[in-house]
A and B are shown apart, each in its own frame.
Chain A
Amino acid sequence: MLAVPLLAACEGPLSTLTPAGPAAVEIARLWWAMLIGSGLITLLVMAMLWRALRRQSQGRPRLAAERRWIFGWGLGFSLAVLTVLLGFGIWIGERMIARDDDTPLVEAHAGQWAWEFVQPGPGGQPVTTQGVLYVPAGRPFDVAITSSDVIHSFWVPRLGGKMDAIPGHRNVHRLMAAAPGTYEGLCAEFCGLGHSFMNFEVVAYDPAGPLPDFADAEEGRE
């Protein structure tokens, strides 16, 4: 009963918890798993603490206590949990990163405080747009991220993680929108006065249908 309003509270145009692409889905899944695990560990530790506060000890042999608390819980339990979690974390990360294959490439160029994109348009010709990135839905794409002034960060929360735009460097980031639609994006790294407003949109279009019009974002959309 409680689950419905709780899940509704997780929704939003920028929510990492309403994922719309495989990377975001996997991360959200990782999050829910970690949340459950962490919740259980917190309850366990609090229960131990509660019991420790209430107990009137009879002075048992210290060596056994040391073995149980330090080696059992401190080393054994924590190392086991962390090893499993780290294995999953690295495995998920491995499948998510951009590689040197034939995935189509678009470019995202950041500057104070706007985004410019270059993507394949009609006939595969590159088209430059302001504030809107057009990509085909259902296919992975790589974003080559650059900056002309300070550090920014490219983030479309519902599609996946973020990647910084660093002057002098070119970072490649792989994303995919599972279904056609419009997804909100923003600059995640503090970049000065206009940081709060440095937003953009990703329009995922149906690759089987007609191409979109590659229009720029409307002035004053923010």
Chain B
Amino acid sequence: MTWLARALAGPMLWGALFSAVYALHGAGCNLGWTQVSLGPVDLHRGAMWAVWAAGLAVHVLLVVTMPAGQGRARRIIVAGSLIGLVASAFTLFPVIATSTCF
């Protein structure tokens, strides 16, 4: 059963990351973080970038530390890890450039 938990780690991380970035987005717009400058970007976008990048780093870690071996269980672990990485990259890429609070 631990293999199933390992396979679900990627999608779980996507869930946490997606919720975190969406919550940051909502909080930032309502608490005026766009007014706070943080070097080249504002605090709002900076915070979302940081969380997204950190999450993607953990995803990559999950992908590179996949156990070696054969069989269905391992294939499902590989698939789960990649689903997580692709989902986090694909669903959150709008943080790069879309307008934040309009």
Contacts and interface: CB of A to CB of B under 8 A. Distances in A.
Contacts of A94: 98-99
Interface in B67-94: 90, 94
Interface centre among B90, B94, B102 (most CB of A within 10 A): B102
A90 interface: yes
A99 B98 contact: no
B102 A90 contact: no
A23 to B, nearest CB: 15
Contacts of B102: 97-100
Interface in A64-87: 83
Contacts, number: 11
Interface size class of A (residues with CB under 8 A): under 10
A222 B85 CA distance: 54
B82 to A, nearest CB: 10
Nearest to A174: B102
Interface of A: 83, 90, 94, 97-100
Contacts of A90: 94, 98
A83 B99 CA distance: 19
11 contacts: A83-B90, A90-B94, A90-B98, A94-B98, A94-B99, A97-B99, A97-B102, A98-B102, A99-B99, A99-B102, A100-B102
A98 B99 CA distance: 11
A171 to B, nearest CB: 11
Contacts of B99: 94, 97, 99
A100 B101 CA distance: 10
A149 B74 CA distance: 56
Nearest to B91: A86
Given A83-B90, A94-B99, A97-B102, 8 more contacts: A90-B94, A90-B98, A94-B98, A97-B99, A98-B102, A99-B99, A99-B102, A100-B102
Contacts of A98: 102
A97 B100 CA distance: 11
A98 B102 CA distance: 7
Contacts of B98: 90, 94
A174 to B, nearest CB: 10
A97 B102 CA distance: 7
A100 B99 CA distance: 11
Contacts of B94: 90
Contacts of A97: 99, 102
A94 B94 CA distance: 11
B39 to A, nearest CB: 22
Nearest to B86: A79
B49 to A, nearest CB: 17
Contacts of A83: 90
A99 B94 CA distance: 18
